Structures are given as structure tokens and as C-alpha cells.
Structure 1
Amino acid sequence: MAGMLNYTAAPAFWAVSASNGRVFRVKLSANTPLSPPPNFKAPPPKPFSIRPDSVFDIMGASLALLFRLTTSVLVSGYSVNVVPASEIPPDQYALGFAGFKLKESSKLGPRPDKPIEIYEYESCPFCRKVREIVAVLDLDVLYYPCPRNGPNFRPKVSQMGGKQLLPYMVDPNTGVSMYESDDIIKYLVGKYGDGNVPLLLSLGLLTTLTEGFAMIGRIGKGSLYTPSKLPPKPLEIWAYEASPFCKVVREVLVELELPHILHSCARGSPKRQILYERVGHFQVPYLEDPNTGVGMFESAEIVDYLKATYAL
């Protein structure tokens, strides 16, 4: 997980490594020490609730489910049984209702030792295809956001791979790097899955079109750079692609060009239990900021926190 990454950023630079061994140094936007907003207090989790001023944001982000169905909702090999609540230990995460709980499981492929690194941005349909397979395969990914006019990571893609094309993937476990969403998907399912591309990600132009339609409710969000401070360490977020609550947070992470490790945890992911054990509750998104020590739930409040802490 995140502990495998040892970031020791210099006071004014962020080191970005390429699969060919070259290291690029990205100048930080500011040297000011980072701290939470004044009088900040992390909100308690409020399951199945939406802050009134965020209703339209969540509704717009939810439109993706109409076009992409269950793609990225469930991890590979997902199965579920309804059992009496008494069969699930109290220290084990499970969704419950009316005296019953869901006993969920999955069949995952080999796990990478280090998070896959992906350069992309939120409102790109080709990037979304890759984010969906990340959810299906239950991978942890270090995302380098590349919004338009972003000064840091979008230019580095050209330097590393020779082309200004997104998404761009680097696998530090194998030294493989590549462009082209379909090629990335085939690589990931071959290396970390069962080798089979899910049907809704294998329909060529139809897949790309539905990926584009899926973002109609959030047109333009997560695509343009907002001047920001580049953090010394990547933020961490527990989330998955299909969640509209996670979507609105990811948009801001991209716009602020904040590198982040995404712990993907769609239904059936064993990482749901890991988060449950760490904080005593499971709900996404959950943000951990190692630069300020903040850990928090609630998408609208996370968006407020990110803007207050990192926007210039």
C-alpha cells in the first residue's frame, strides 16, 4: 500500500521517475508549510446523505451509471450471498439490512508490489476507460493529474514517452510504460487479472462513446488547471470510479494537479475491510493527507478542504 512509497521530496522540488531510469524534477508551486484551514475539524461520516449545496453535483456525476452500467462498480470475480447478520463477526465490514448482511467476495489476480503510475485527467473518455479497469482489478494507482495548462505533469509525459498523449502508464514493477487506453487495459488484465477484458471495455468505438456520454453531467469538470501548491507527498484517497461522491473529489484533485494514491475499493474489494479496521468505518471517499495529518470522510467537505489547503 502507500507505505511502500518512500517520498523524500526536497524543499522545492518533486522527483518524478520514468521507467527508463530517468528522473525529472518538478518545481513546487510554493514553499509555504502546509497546514489544515483555520479551525478545521474533520466532519463525522454521514452515510447516504448529501450536503444540500452538492445535490446537483452528485446527480450529474450519477449519470455515468446509466451509460456504463455496473462497469467499475464490482471487482473481478465478485460474488455475494445474503446471510443472517449473526454470521458476520462485528469486526468485519459488511453491508447490512433488516437482520441480514451481504457476504461479498472476489477473485483477484496477482498484486503489484508498487502502485501503478498513471498520467491522466478526469474528463477524458480514454482515461476513464483505464480508471474503470483499475476498479475492476482492484489496483492501487499513483495518479499524476494532467489538467490542461497544468505546469508539472502534463509536460513530463512528452519528456518520458516522446508524445503528448494521455493516458500514459508506467509500471514500476516491470519497467513497462505505454500510451493508448486499450493497450493499457490489455496489459493490466494480462499482468494483474485473468487476461480477459470485461465486455463493456472491449466494444471499441461503442465503449469510447458511452464513456463520453457518461461524463455529460459533469462536462468540463476535472480538465482545467487551477493554480495550486504542489504537496511534498502524494495525498491518498480511498475511492472507486463508479461512485459519484468519489467523482466530485477526484475532479478537484485533478484541477489542483495534486498527485494522489488511489486505493481502489469497489464492491468486493478486500480493501474495504482494511479501511474499516483502520478507522472503524467504511465509506468512500476517504481522504488521507500526509502533509497535514488530516483524515476525513464526506465528499463536499473534502472538496472544501482541498481548495482551502492547496488552491492559490
Structure 2
Amino acid sequence: MSHNTEVLRSLAASALQQGRGIASKGHRKTPQEPLELYDMEGCPFCRLVREALTDLDLDVVIFPCPKGGERYRPLVERLGGRQQFPYLMDPNTGAALYESADIIDYLYREYGGRPAPRRWLVRSLRTAAAVSASLPRASRGLRAQDSQVPEQALELYSFEASPFARLVRERLTELQLPYLLRQCGRDQWQDWVLPPLRRRLLDDYAPRQRNRIALMERAGRIAVPYLVDPNTGAELFESADILDYLDQTYGR
């Protein structure tokens, strides 16, 4: 399937998320150590947690656990007693939780300093929306492929509903490559302007969100996804280029 077709299908998935996973309202308390999430990109229950993480502007280390994966799925069973996802571990408090609803409640209570938004409280509705968002992507981000193990986790600048970043997160999941997800949710109207237009029309654009500021300082512009691989020194924009890089560097 062509990359353009994959992008269109990913755009459809983003539309079905009904606006969740785009904007960041921020958190009241910053974790000293990154949270750890054992996750499958294509899992609708994992998606709910990632949407909340974007809303709260919380970075997280993702340990991909696709079906058939032997790298982190057995570890979750040893840690929590069963292979069920999502599974959150918080090294700051010692908390370890299954169940997306419990994880979301914990994140807003512990780091948001506020109750989870009302839209999270109707569990049947939010679950149905998350399931529908999985349909255009079929089995993408669900099944393991053989890969080489990196010495260090990769880094990905992303936000949950980005259709381009989703393609990269799916491949990272399939290849079972751990990565630090650096949230780049939108927090001002200028962030919603497409990067090419923003560069042409908004000369005075200045990001306010912390990882967007860091990305501007690092790469000279802001576009998502942006991959950093500390194992090779590679840094890349553009989902198609990142996918090629991951396959060539870590695929078998």
C-alpha cells in the first residue's frame, strides 16, 4: 500500500478520535522520572491513555507490546501477573495499573491536579470512539515483526492524533522498539496552522509548549513527527523518511 494511502487512512482514524489527542492543557505536577507505558499503538484502550497523556502534556517511555512480541509482553506478565494492555508504571510513586479508566483517573489526579474531563466519564462512549478510530488502520500497530534491539530508547516528538506520527508509532510498535514519546500537543491557535503555511505566513511564530520550544531550538522548525536516534545520531522529519530509516536500521 502506498504511503499516501496510508496517510489518508491515518487521517480517517484521526477524524474518528473526535478532536481528542491534539491539544495539551498541561499538568500541575511534573514527574521527576518519565512514566512508563506498556502499550500497543493499534489498541483502542491504549489509545485512550495516550490521548490523556497528550491532554496532560506528559512525556512517557513507551515499551511496545504487539501481539506475538517476546520483548516486553512477558515482562508485563512478570510485573503485573497477566499480559493485559495498557499497563502503566510510575517510578515516581510506585504505582502500577492496568485498565485504561483507572490509568486515566490516576494521571489526572496525580499530575493534572484536576478530575478527568467529563468526556472521559462516559466509558461506553469513549471506548466506542476509540474502537472506531482503530478501524481505518486495520491491524497496523498490533502485530510483532522481528527486529534488532537498540541499546538506547529512541525519541519521538509526537502528539496522539497526528496522522503522520501515528504511522511512525505503528512501526515502532511492530518492531518492538522502545522510545521516549515527547508530547507536542497544540496549545495556541498558531500551532494549528500547517508547518509550510506557518513558515510562510507567521514570521513571528513562537511556540509556547515546552517540547515545541525544544524542537525549534534543536531543529530550527516544528513539524511532527521528529525522530531522534541516540544510537546512530540520526535525526529526521517526515514520516516516510522515518519509516524507511527504521526498516533499514532495525528491521530484519
Same fold (TM over 0.5): yes
- Alpha-carbon shift at residue 56 of structure 1 (Å): 1.1
Q: Secondary structure at the match of 1:248?
A: helix
* Partner residue in 1 for 2:149: 230
Within the alignment, does 1:180 sit opposite 2:99 as a pair?
A: yes
* Partner residue in 1 for 2:59: 140
Identity of aligned residues (%): 42
* Partner residue in 2 for 1:306: 246
* Partner residue in 2 for 1:57: 6
Give the number of aligned pairs: 231
Partner Cα distance (2:246, 2:33) in 1? 26
Larger radius of gyration: 1
- The correspondence for 1:289, drawn from 223, 229, 236, is 229
Question: For each residue in 1:287-306, what CA deviation from the matched residue of structure 2 results, as whole angstroms up to 9, or x when unmatched?
Answer: 00001110010001100100
Q: Structure 1 unaligned segments of length 5 or more: list them.
A: 1-51, 77-106
Q: Secondary structure at the match of 1:214?
A: helix
Check conservation: 1:169, 1:184, Cα contact below 8 A.
Answer: yes
Distance verdict in 2 for CA 1:246–1:135, change over 3 Å: same
- Alpha-carbon shift at residue 233 of structure 1 (Å): 0.3
Partner Cα distance (2:35, 2:135) in 1? 28
The 10-residue stretch of structure 1 (164-173 or 52-61) with the greater mean CA deviation from structure 2: 52-61
- The correspondence for 2:19, drawn from 70, 85, 93, is 70
Which one has the bigger strand percentage? Answer: 1
- The correspondence for 2:30, drawn from 88, 91, 111, is 111
Question: For each residue in 1:225-249, what CA deviation from the matched residue of structure 2 results, as whole angstroms up to 9, or x when unmatched?
Answer: 0000011100000001010000000
Question: For each residue in 1:38-72, what CA deviation from the matched residue of structure 2 results, as whole angstroms up to 9, or x when unmatched?
Answer: xxxxxxxxxxxxxx942111111111333222211
| Counterpart amino acid of residue 278 in structure 1 | R
Partner Cα distance (1:192, 1:57) in 2? 35
Within the alignment, does 1:199 sit opposite 2:118 as a pair?
A: yes
Q: Structure 2 unaligned segments of length 5 or more: list them.
A: 188-208
Partner Cα distance (2:220, 2:45) in 1? 36
Check conservation: 1:121, 1:127, Cα contact below 8 A.
Answer: yes
* Partner residue in 2 for 1:127: 46
TM-score (norm 1): 0.72
| Counterpart amino acid of residue 236 in structure 1 | E
- Alpha-carbon shift at residue 196 of structure 1 (Å): 2.0
- Alpha-carbon shift at residue 271 of structure 1 (Å): 1.4
| Counterpart amino acid of residue 284 in structure 1 | V
Q: Secondary structure at the match of 2:104?
A: helix
User: How large is the Cα RMSD of the aligned pairs?
Assistant: 1.3
Q: Secondary structure at the match of 1:169?
A: strand
* Partner residue in 1 for 2:84: 165
Partner Cα distance (1:296, 1:66) in 2? 26
| Counterpart amino acid of residue 160 in structure 1 | L
- Alpha-carbon shift at residue 210 of structure 1 (Å): 0.8
Partner Cα distance (1:306, 1:222) in 2? 14
